[in-house]
Amino acid sequence: MTGLHDTTGDGSGPTVVSIDAMGGDRGPAAVVAGISLAADKSPNLRFLLHGPAEELERLVAKRKDLAGRCEIRDAAGIVTMEDKPAQVMRNGKNTSMWSAIDSVRAGEATVCVSCGNTGALMALSMVRLRKLPGVNRPAIAVLWPSRSASGFNVMLDVGADIRADAHDLLQYALMGTSYARNGMGIAHPRVGLLNVGTEEHKGRAELKEAHDLIGAQAEEASFTFVGFVEGGDLPGDVADVIVTDGFTGNVALKTGEGTASLIGDLLKEAFAYSLLSRLASILALSSLKRLRKRIDPRRVNGGVFLGLNGTVVKSHGAADATGVAAAVRLAEQLALSGFSDKLAARVASTAPQAHDAPPDDAENGKTP
Amino acid sequence: MTGLHDTTGDGSGPTVVSIDAMGGDRGPAAVVAGISLAADKSPNLRFLLHGPAEELERLVAKRKDLAGRCEIRDAAGIVTMEDKPAQVMRNGKNTSMWSAIDSVRAGEATVCVSCGNTGALMALSMVRLRKLPGVNRPAIAVLWPSRSASGFNVMLDVGADIRADAHDLLQYALMGTSYARNGMGIAHPRVGLLNVGTEEHKGRAELKEAHDLIGAQAEEASFTFVGFVEGGDLPGDVADVIVTDGFTGNVALKTGEGTASLIGDLLKEAFAYSLLSRLASILALSSLKRLRKRIDPRRVNGGVFLGLNGTVVKSHGAADATGVAAAVRLAEQLALSGFSDKLAARVASTAPQAHDAPPDDAENGKTP
């Protein structure tokens, strides 16, 4: 690898992030604009940029702030939003997505960012990066705008798998804790288990079992277990990490997005209703912008695949430069904190087959 | 029964609704104020009011519009929000909730309204009213503010039961269709099955089976089956009735409510930020009120228990007069349309044991 040297974790050199430049709805121009925005704020940030070399070289050349900070890896193929995961796994070797993930596999970067097809990205990540020892089901975690001090809660799984047994839910709790600690700087996260009531006798059998498993790990893994939480706590201030199966998590995520989008549209309608309300909307412009910034999905733009040998950040397909920049900054934060290694250590230390091994304390207390 | 004569359904006389006056967070005064509001708009509406007679007589006497339209049924006991359902089922015979449900059981009214403890109300309704023939699991349906022409979608189950197999989901589709037709006036509802993707191969096994079962009933039961829908479609314009198990439905409902509440609070904060934004909020007052009215949970205040011999409308525990009035109007609408009988006929006509019986067309086309 020329020009870039990944010394992530020891704090002495650049932080390298692997970027899939293709597959987003807005094409590579938005991706390059996004990494340029992120680069402006972080002088140590470097990029491995995957896609058609000629096109990318032209786009990067226009951005002075990217000079000497991007290494382009030629990949002619593009995974489209319509491609089936199985198809991409068979025939996708020449794609930018495959290439971007393989940079993590090869150890050139610890984190990869893509705006592409979620199903294909998850499938490729699974086969190329493989599951971490001790992890049965990897998970996708998202940030949820909330009343918590950090402004966000972590929810997982939001759709990597539609099933999760009690032990999977324990793994999610550990992975989510690690993510909150390293990605969001919350030293001692509060973990909640999503259910239909907060009483201990309620809910499905696997949830009662998971309740006990997670509670038993709280002290060793340095989190506070707040027990069962409800849907209303997702945007609340009760837990920083909310654990659920991928079916429920996916429905909740899309319900929340849909609700926010409906309210946003109704708000616009309300302000367009009369001359007076239009005047009001002009006066309220900066207030409404502040609100939008607070719950802007572009800013909570990193769905993160957890439980693999390396971390993959899925940015929204429709992400613009601001959205890509947010995903890249999250990736940088995770790379800087040595997240991938710490997560692996945490999961291994509590895996059933390693249950008698001494706990690895590498992760605890070392918050960014 | 003195003074009141329930001729619901034949259009010739008063419509009687049974009301549990106790158990709401705001006490019987809010309930009496609410039925008074509803009575103002509907000259044919009559009430059976259950609770401590002396207290209720005093409250009703203050409302001239209720004169001669309320029959008070003395019940000294009150089910509190803390009471356990099992306890209420054993010892709750003297409560207003029990008495209100028993008026439906006795055929004095077809619909009952309560602001009380949901768990207890569901449990009592189950044992006193019993399940309809052909219904394995009763369900709770709610109205969800949406982009649909009616302004609302129906979702069920939101928590009567945490499990639902494919045949239960079919029953929910039939009950939800009947509710949309008789409660909302949608002659030919669109029905969707909640899943994590809209492709037919996705999701849990029972969902694939339910997909086929529901699709096969669509023509006979006069609804359009739109197939799988996602969380984002709950507030959308894709389906009028959205079917899911009570675990997922409860999480989705509370997630939606929590999201709306967070946005509402952030909006208030945004408008309180500066002098200019405070001025804007004054100018925008009527617009914001319009918006609030559109998504006001007090107006979508009727969780409805379906699948029993009689209909029970659960109003929000914190409901004020406006909230109670909305629940009573919904109850009136359901009573007027003969909903309970039509639902029973619909479910019976498609129950497995009655599969070869000729379809009962009582319900179709007769929209209010």
Highest-pLDDT range among B69-78, B79-88, B296-305: B69-78
Q: How far is CA A162 from the centre of its chain?
A: 18
Residue A112: predicted pLDDT: 96
Q: Is A86 on the interface with B (CB under 8 A)?
A: no
Helix (H, G, I), strand (E, B) or coil at A265: helix
Residue B344: predicted pLDDT: 86
Residue B274 buriedness (CB in 10 A; 0-12 / 13-18 / 19+): middle
- CA B260 to CA B295: how far, in whole Å? 9
Q: Is A258 on the interface with B (CB under 8 A)?
A: yes
Residue B89: predicted pLDDT: 92
CATH topology classification for B142-297? Isopropylmalate Dehydrogenase (3.40.718)
Are A270 and B287 within 8 A, CB to CB?
Answer: yes
Asked if A38 and A54 touch (Cβ cutoff 8 Å), the reply is no
Highest-pLDDT range among A298-312, B198-212, B237-251, B341-355: B237-251
Asked if B156 and B234 touch (Cβ cutoff 8 Å), the reply is no
- Could you count the other beta carbons within 10 Å of the beta carbon of residue A105? 18
Residue A174, token pair as written in the block:
């550990």
CA neighbor of B121 nearest in space, from B304, B257, B342:
B304
Q: Do B142-297 and B1-135+307-336 fall under one CATH topology? A: yes
Residue A357: predicted pLDDT: 37
- What are the φ and ψ backbone dihedral angles of B157, each rounded to 5 degrees? -85, 145
How many CB pairs lie under 8 A apart between chains A and B? 183
% chain A with pLDDT above 90: 61
- Exposure string of B151-185, with b = 16+ CB inside 10 Å and e = fewer, is ebbbbbbbbbbbebebbbbbbbbbbbbbbbbbbbe
Tell me which DSSP letter residue B204 carries: -
Are A196 and B234 within 8 A, CB to CB?
Answer: no
Of B70-74, B277-281, B323-327, which range is least confident?
A: B277-281
Over range B295-316, report the average pLDDT: 81
Residue A7: predicted pLDDT: 46
Residue A249 has pLDDT above 90, yes or no: yes
- CA B37 to CA A163: how far, in whole Å? 48
Q: Is B207 on the interface with A (CB under 8 A)?
A: no
Residue of A163, A246, A270 with shortest CB distance to B288:
A270
% chain B with pLDDT above 70: 88
Q: Where are the domains of chain B?
A: 1-135+307-336, 142-297
- In terms of CA atoms, which chain A residue is nearest residue B202? A162
- CA B118 to CA B97: how far, in whole Å? 11
Residue A287, token pair as written in the block:
């207030």
Q: What residue has token string 């207030």?
A: A287
Q: Is B271 on the interface with A (CB under 8 A)?
A: yes
Q: What is the pLDDT of residues A165-212, one digit of tens each?
A: 999 999 999 999 999 999 889 999 999 999 997 666 677 889 999 999
Are B194 and A250 within 8 A, CB to CB?
Answer: no
Residue A4: predicted pLDDT: 52
> How does strand A311-314 pair with strand A303-306?
antiparallel
Q: Which residues in chain A have Cβ-Cβ distances shorter than 8 Å to B260?
A: 259, 263
- Exposure string of B104-138, with b = 16+ CB inside 10 Å and e = fewer, is bbeebbbbbbbbbbbbbbbbbbbebbeebebbebb
Helix (H, G, I), strand (E, B) or coil at B341: helix
Residue A9 has pLDDT above 70, yes or no: no
Q: What is the pLDDT of residues A329-364, one digit of tens each?
A: 999 999 988 888 888 888 887 765 434 333 444 444
Over range B298-324, report the average pLDDT: 85
Identify the CATH homologous superfamily for domain A137-298.
Isopropylmalate Dehydrogenase (3.40.718.10)
Please provide the DSSP assignment of A111-165 as one string.
EEEE-S-HHHHHHHHHHHH-BPTT-SS-EEEEEEE-SSTTSEEEEE-SSS-S---
Rg, Å, chain A Cα set: 21
Residue B318, token pair as written in the block:
């914190």
Residue B363: predicted pLDDT: 47
Q: Which residues in chain B have Cβ-Cβ distances shorter than 8 Å to A244?
A: 251
Over range A96-100, report the average pLDDT: 97
- In terms of CA atoms, which chain B residue is nearest residue A287? B270
Q: Is B288 on the interface with A (CB under 8 A)?
A: yes
Residue B287 has pLDDT above 80, yes or no: no
Residue B58 neighbours by CB under 8 Å, 6+ apart: none
Residue A305: predicted pLDDT: 94
CA neighbor of A268 nearest in space, from A254, A260, B148, B265:
A260
**What is the identity of the amino acid at A186?**
I
Q: What is the pLDDT of residues A279-319, one digit of tens each?
A: 777 777 777 777 777 766 555 666 899 999 999 999 988 88
User: HEC states along B17-59?
Assistant: EEEECCCCCCHHHHHHHHHHHHHHHCCCEEEEEEECHHHHHHH
Q: What's the complex ipTM?
A: 0.84
Q: Which residues in chain A have Cβ-Cβ distances shorter than 8 Å to B194?
A: 251
User: Angle at the Cα of B294 (from B289 to B297), degrees rounded to 5?
Assistant: 100
Residue B221 neighbours by CB under 8 Å, 6+ apart: B173, B174, B177, B346, B350, B359, B364
Residue of B162, B255, B287 with shortest CB distance to A277:
B287
Of A200-204, A363-367, B110-114, B184-188, which range is least confident?
A: A363-367
Average pLDDT taken over every residue of chain B: 86
Mutation target to probe the B interface, by most B beta carbons within 10 A, among A152, A193, A228, A255 is A255
> What class, spelled out in words, does domain B1-135+307-336 have in CATH?
alpha beta
CA neighbor of A323 nearest in space, from A344, A293, A288:
A293
CA neighbor of B104 nearest in space, from B345, B314, B304, B311:
B311
Q: What residue has token string 């359901």?
A: B334
Integer angstrom CA distances of residue B368 from B56, B181, B184, B312: 33, 8, 8, 20
Q: How far apart are the first and last CA of chain A?
A: 28
Residue A353: predicted pLDDT: 45
**What is the identity of the amino acid at B83?**
D
% chain B with pLDDT above 90: 61
Residue B298: predicted pLDDT: 54
- What are the φ and ψ backbone dihedral angles of A336, each rounded to 5 degrees? -60, -40
Residue A365: predicted pLDDT: 39
Query: Which ranges of B114-245 does DSSP label H, i.e. alpha helix?
Result: 118-129, 166-184, 205-217
Residue A80, token pair as written in the block:
């489209």
Task: Output A267 or A100, whichever has higher pLDDT.
Answer: A100
Q: Is A244 on the interface with B (CB under 8 A)?
A: yes
